[in-house]
A and B are shown apart, each in its own frame.
Chain A
Amino acid sequence: MATETLKLDELIARGYEHGFYTPVEVDTVPSGLNEAVIRLISAKKQEPEFMLEWRLKAFRHWLGMTEPAWSTVRYPAIDYQAISYYAAPKSRAGGPRSLEEVDPELLRTYEKLGVPLEEREILAGVAVDAVFDSISVATTFKDKLAELGIIFCSFSEAVREHPDLVRQYLGSVVPHTDNFFAALNSAVFSDGSFCYIPPGVRCPMELSTYFRINARNTGQFERTLIVADRGAYVSYLEGCTAPMRDEHQLHAAVVELVALEGAQIRYATVQNWYPGDKEGKGGIYNFVTKRGDCREANSHISWTQVETGSAITWKYPSVILQGDNAVGEFHSVALTNNYQQADTGTKMIHLGRNTRSTIVSKGIAAGHGKNVYRGLVRVGKSAAGARNYTRCDSLLLGDKCAAHTFPYIEVKNPSGRVEHEASTSRIGEDQLFYCQSRGLSAEDAVSMIVNGFCREVFKELPMEFAVEAQKLLGVSLEGSVG
């Protein structure tokens, strides 16, 4: 078989691979949210005044907002005062300057996760900005990137070292007033990645960030900002794994992408936060705002996501196509098993002339999983010649799961052309029988068929991610066959 399908029974025995806890001393701010906490976060991070002002503005706006209720996801009310909004490994005091300075316990954690930083540096040519809970602990390849004028660092560092860039672009795609979770993030965001590619530079390697949620009862509020200046190119990979927990945990990240004239940003995510156990206990709430802005002509932003984790996923990586001839893409695989819920999709907002967008969404629901595609394609009055093609397929495994499709299409320009297709089906018994009569087990057959179903999206992922995504799919489907 061509695909790297793992034996499912082997995977079942394994349980949640990344479920371990790293005993590191943690410097935590007491639970609760008020202006004093925000001032404390800002002070701990030694931020300039404008950052504090921005946080406070967002916080004051957030106080007047209500949590959105329009999605199909259901979860118990979140007590925002019970969350601690800042946690940093204590050993960081002073900040590690190199890998040698990093707490060895942390490095071992990454090794178990399959992110051996030192090896990756050599083997894969990937620069890793690893985020452990709330602050960045190690950044590699920085020097090499610096030679090209590329800035790739933690958000905190960017705020200190490149305040003008941060000030210019922060909140310019996702304003602090955007939505409930984005406003909350703007007020309390702890850290994240910052990336700037100067004009005409093609970033020579895939940039990558691994997120981890570790400390108990800690909300994680990442903020990522990527700016590709004129004619620049960057491919960015984001991967997430989290240790096993019983309490639900909130992850409310914001990612902003800005592509200037002729620039291209490819953003790929493999998300396998802890999904909760078979009874639906535990798991991450993944409420994320991701948006790209094709701000100038001929720019190009593509989102590729493989979402297999989290108890609840609520995210709509979107593209605002402002510049003429801009291109937006969204390729997604979302898998929900057991009691997972995913409400995900995209928005393509066509404003510039001859803008194009493509949406390919593959949803797989198993067990009691609920999988929702929710998307908006809007062709504004100014978007003459805009084109969109949407393909949205759902695969159902078992009779207790659910798959929903909610595409919104709004067209205000007659030369716009929008096509949307969707299908929902299950794995055919004849397909299964065919595979089994060729000697495959039912599990292998399902795994192979599911991988085939997702191929269109996987081919958008960088090689090593594609392999990992296939493995993840196998793990996530465990127990759903039979």
Chain B
Amino acid sequence: MNAPVHHAVEYYLGEFSRLAPALPGQHLPWLRRAREAAMERFARLGFPGRRDEEWKYTPLAAIEKPHFALVPSAPGSVAAEQVEGFALAGTHLLVFVNGRFEPGLSRPEKLPAGATVVSLREALEGDAGELAARLGRVPENVTPFAALNQAFMTDGAYLRLAPGTKLLKPIQLLFLASQPNLAIQPRILVLAEEGSAATLIEHHAAIGDIGYFTNGVTEIVACPGAAIEHHKLQQESRRAFHVAAVVAEQDRDSRLASTSFALGAALARVDIAIGLQGEGAACTLDGLYVAVGRQHLDHHTRIDHLKPRCRSRELYKGILSGAARAVFNGKVIVHPDAQQSDAFQSNHNLLLSENAEVDTKPQLEIFADDVKCGHGATVGQLDEDQLFYLRSRGVDGGTARAVLTMAFARESVDRVGIPALQKRLDQLLPALLPRESEGQT
């Protein structure tokens, strides 16, 4: 039983010692140490097993077994026309192919003064002094996969906003996979200084029906009064594996809105951890997972209320059909002294077929008394009264179900205030909702 585990860890250890000298930023002693420490941590933890409470519903054998290549064989195999199918109108677009930044496919356009966005490789090959404090550590409470990313991270994006800088257009970071059997480890860092504001769309997709493994880490640092939106659109190939961590630290009066749209991948797991570290900080975490066939989509979120008067809101919705499975685990932790915390979380799931399954666990851990906290979770089918109402107006059962299912998803789409992204979702979602025949139970 344990043999393959060792095998996988040994494989990554071997690859690390082979590839480390060529990883970007090896001239930086702090980064070398950080990579080595992360590799040690990963070797120590290994792939989480089902006995691990945080992973009990998500089996990892499929990710653990293959020996994914850690370096792409040839760059630039994607044409500009192929990018157009994924680019969103009205954004600063940065394109990454197989994990590497492709300036030729990107249109970053001019950012306002005070805002810079560069590829991570570029940032690491400079003196990168200012990154030491951020990239030098991955919080201990995120997954072993984050450590793996830390060890191997090669490229990604670094967005920096000087105090008061406000971006008007969203930045779209488009990660395209085109090579099978590759492990892609993108790393995104957002450093938003006091009073700055920006919107980031992190978009993962594939060219062709290929199998690969994306293992991403996104770090967001919001200084006092900063306002950041991070919307993630995951439409990986149905044969791909997608594991990601989103870690945010929020200072006083900062705002973060984070949305996760999980539509693709055979197996996807996203861990989102938000630290409300300054008084009056607020975050909104939304998500929509739509799983069909044998897809397995897992979200784990964690919000730490560490200081008084912070507010968090969370709404995750799921639509499951076929033999798909979804997992939601939402933790809200109110630490001692985080008085007047205000937290509410909900998770609603629609099960549309006989073999679909959902496991949800909203949880509250509260160590302060002056708090207002709550959560709600539901699992069910479409509402019979609503279905009858539509049918009594002449709408056939299949259409009525489709209308109500879209209406269920609507709320999550509407909460994203970006027309281009909403439009894209309106195009993508109907194709993922079950047809009349499958929807019947």
Contact = CB atoms under 8 A, between A and B. Distances in A.
Interface string B339-372: 1000000000101111011111111111111111
A412 B380 contact: no
Contacts of A70: 53
B4 interface: no
Interface in B349-404: 349, 351-354, 356-381
A417 B381 contact: yes
Interface in A418-443: 418-426
Contacts, number: 110
A402 B338 CA distance: 12
B441 interface: yes
Given A399-B370, A403-B366, A424-B373, A414 B361 contact: no
B364 A414 contact: no
Given A405-B364, A407-B361, A426-B369, A419 B356 contact: no
Contacts of B372: 424-425
A344 B416 CA distance: 39
Contacts of A398: 369
Interface size class of B (residues with CB under 8 A): 35 or more
Interface size class of A (residues with CB under 8 A): 20 to 34
B336 interface: yes
B357 A422 contact: no
A421 B376 contact: yes
A409 B378 CA distance: 9
Contacts of B363: 404-407
A396 to B, nearest CB: 4
A420 B362 contact: yes
B231 to A, nearest CB: 27
A270 interface: no
A113 interface: no
Given A70-B53, A406-B361, A409-B360, A401 B369 contact: yes
A394 interface: yes
B20 to A, nearest CB: 37
Chain A interface mostly helix, strand, loop or mixed? strand
Contacts of A424: 364, 366, 371-374
Contacts of A413: 351, 354
Given A396-B369, A407-B377, A409-B377, A414 B359 contact: no
Nearest to A400: B336
Nearest to A390: B377
A397 B349 CA distance: 34
A423 B373 contact: yes
Nearest to A371: B366
A415 interface: yes
A404 B366 contact: yes
A403 B334 CA distance: 10
Given A404-B364, A414-B356, A420 B371 contact: no
Given A70-B53, A420-B362, A420-B376, A411 B357 contact: yes
Given A397-B369, A402-B367, A409 B380 contact: no
B313 to A, nearest CB: 15
A410 interface: yes
25 contacts: A379-B379, A394-B366, A396-B368, A396-B371, A397-B369, A399-B337, A399-B368, A399-B370, A401-B369, A402-B366, A402-B367, A404-B365, A405-B375, A407-B361, A408-B359, A408-B361, A409-B359, A409-B379, A410-B357, A417-B378, A419-B377, A420-B376, A424-B372, A425-B371, A426-B370
Interface of B: 53, 336-337, 339, 349, 351-354, 356-381, 441
Given A379-B379, A407-B377, A409-B359, 10 more contacts: A70-B53, A398-B369, A399-B370, A401-B369, A409-B379, A411-B349, A416-B379, A418-B378, A419-B377, A420-B378
